[in-house]
Structure 1
Amino acid sequence: MSDNFLTVNVVTPNGIVYDHHAVIVVARTTEGELGILPNHVPIIAPLAIDEVRVKRTDSDSHVDWIAVNGGILEFRDNVLSIVADSAERERDIDVSRAERARQRAEKLIEEAKAHENIDELRRATVALHRAINRINVSKHS
């Protein structure tokens, strides 16, 4: 185990999305933004729908961006594991598909408001946040 980098793994039900060494990772938990450096204290935290930024060890300036749609972050022994409901690297995001998802979610929100359907409004709002997150992360590629 090296003391000057950490290993980052992002896993979804569909498999491994990301596996690299990094000097810092920044993620948004449900309590706020969290930066993880090598030798950080062990932590487990629930993730918000947001981007994860990874500064890799093989580049002084390159940052990998990953759209994460909820999940759990665990760090111990210089290994950061993210188990996410779904996740995509910026280079893998289909922007037109994400845009269509955003439009569908906005339509569902309007319909849910018109029918005063709180459950459907919550689901559509989450879908909208996921689509917007994917669109925002795709702009970093």
Structure 2
Amino acid sequence: MTLNILTPDKLVYEGTVTAVTVPGVSGSFQILKDHAPIISTLADGDIIIKINNQEQTIGIKGGVVEVLDNKIIVLAEAIIS
């Protein structure tokens, strides 16, 4: 799967991943290969990116996620350091 995380002013992350967990407004959810198409709003929280057995965390301040054909696009309001 490919993942792009963008804010209004920059590309934060671009790469191939095996799983992504995002902070949905109704609770966190995980996106795996061949996930059904979805568009969802995101709450403030952490995006957990899994590449094989390694994890990376990026904090965001709200946003939207779109999943379609193993492409994940996160449009975040801002990144939380």
Q: Which of 60, 80, 93 is the matching residue for 2:72?
A: 80
Gaps of 5+ in 1: 1-5, 94-141
Which of the pair is proportionally richer in strand?
2
Would you say 1:42 and 2:37 are equivalent positions?
A: yes
Aligned to 2:62: 70
The CA distance in 2 between the partners of 1:30 and 1:13, in whole Å, is 20
Which of the pair is proportionally richer in helix?
1
Q: CA RMSD in A?
A: 1.0
**Equivalent AA in structure 1 for residue 56 of structure 2:** D
Secondary structure of 1:72's counterpart equals strand
- Higher relative contact order at CA 8 Å, sep ≥6: structure 1 or structure 2? 2
TM-score by length of 1: 0.55
Task: Give the drift of 1:74.
Answer: 0.4
TM-score by length of 2: 0.94
The CA distance in 2 between the partners of 1:33 and 1:71, in whole Å, is 13
The CA distance in 1 between the partners of 2:63 and 2:28, in whole Å, is 14
Would you say 1:25 and 2:17 are equivalent positions?
A: no
Q: How many residues align?
A: 81
Percentage of identical aligned residues: 30
